[in-house]
A and B are shown apart, each in its own frame.
Chain A
């Protein structure tokens, strides 16, 4: 952080920040620290909205916003940064306009991108503090690791339905002691599908307002040194019964990024780490072109459609219908001595069907129609594809 002592305020700024400056524990110096500070807010959604609004209002001098998304109607129930006029626009642009209207004395930098292992260090390195308001486990671990590698404090908050969590990670106190980080609290993520996301499970609109405001408050404390940041502690709030609990958390020797024997020395593939990239064996494929050629050449083959009956009824290319779920039970209907072309809508279900038949029944004559019936109709019967 550049020396805050040189920070000057104009008359309008002094008037704006008066209610901060007159708090005895806060004063002009804390306000100078805010103006000198650079905070990166990752995710400008439910949590990012209150964080950004309050940090901008409070006079944080430089605020970076990372988000790749566009404003959607379903965001407005909780993402109070945005209004109807912002729907369809990039979130970072809409957020920047709103924040500049709120406080013209600060600088807003935007990153209209998905934060990932390639760009995270580069984006985060110029900031003093990070506020993580993202919505998935891979990004949570990515932001954590990047902050640990760069020595940045990560003010963390997370929400689900009626429940929120807050902590301050990787914070070095005045005595030089480093606090725990996300990997000390949660060494591994849940397997995909076990813990639903807000998009699947929903969230009470006001909850990110409550939790994000606490997150903003912690960011301000970390910057100014006023009060005791929530480092080494883990706060949870249940809006349903209005219960709050604060737990003690500690650094762990077996933390892979900064424990006794760190094994992570650079950013990794976080989707892989979170088990989201299931490496699936590839299956034999046939393109529509090749398939049409078989037909021209009079090649013998059997054609199977693994979609659902209603899809088949809407459009089919003369295949036998064996829906994916019933493939194993109908394995005997698949020919063994001629080539079998399996298709679905776009090629995903048919690949699954082929893998299942190969694994369970040892088929080696199954071909996945690349691009499915969509590609076939596009190529062979374009007039049908448009309907």
Chain B
């Protein structure tokens, strides 16, 4: 079981759930699993070509999956997956 942390702007698609435990082998599988459970979330996670959106950063623990194996990065039990979208607010 890995824990996925949903950021504030996407919680409206997960019934305001901030943390979800997911059994998945890789990051991509975890995100697909999330999309299956919360269909409205899908277009926020993946682009039309099925790639993880580039204004989303996914971190495994402290590390950016772009420095690991991207979507294929394996998840260990207890891994914390953080989805961190770009936000621009300041005023």
Contact = CB atoms under 8 A, between A and B. Distances in A.
Nearest to A132: B90
Contact of B7 (A45, A69, A163, A197): A163
A157 B64 CA distance: 19
Contact of A186 (B8, B18, B54): B54
A236 interface: yes
Interface in A202-238: 203, 208, 234, 236, 238
B53 A190 contact: yes
Contact of A161 (B8, B66, B88): B8
Contacts of B67: 248, 250
A45 B55 contact: no
Interface string A128-165: 00001111110110000000000000000111111101
Interface string B44-58: 100000000111010
A46 B91 contact: yes
B78 interface: no
Contacts of A186: 54-55, 57, 86
Contacts of A158: 86-90
A208 B62 CA distance: 24
B89 A198 contact: yes
B54 A187 contact: yes
Contacts of A317: none
A195 B63 contact: no
Contact of A197 (B5, B57, B88): B88
A248 B62 contact: yes
B91 A135 contact: yes
B9 to A, nearest CB: 6
A242 B44 CA distance: 25
Given A162-B8, A188-B55, A238-B8, A195 B90 contact: no
A47 B44 CA distance: 27
Contacts of A45: 90-91
B91 A47 contact: yes
Given A43-B91, A198-B91, 6 more contacts: A75-B91, A140-B88, A163-B87, A236-B82, A238-B8, A247-B62
Interface of B: 5, 7-9, 18, 44, 53-55, 57, 59, 62-64, 66-67, 82, 84-91
Interface of A: 43, 45-48, 69, 75, 79, 132-137, 139-140, 157-163, 165, 185-190, 194-198, 201, 203, 208, 234, 236, 238, 240-241, 245-250, 252
18 contacts: A43-B90, A47-B91, A134-B91, A137-B86, A140-B88, A157-B90, A158-B89, A160-B89, A162-B8, A163-B8, A186-B86, A203-B89, A245-B5, A246-B62, A247-B63, A247-B84, A249-B64, A250-B67
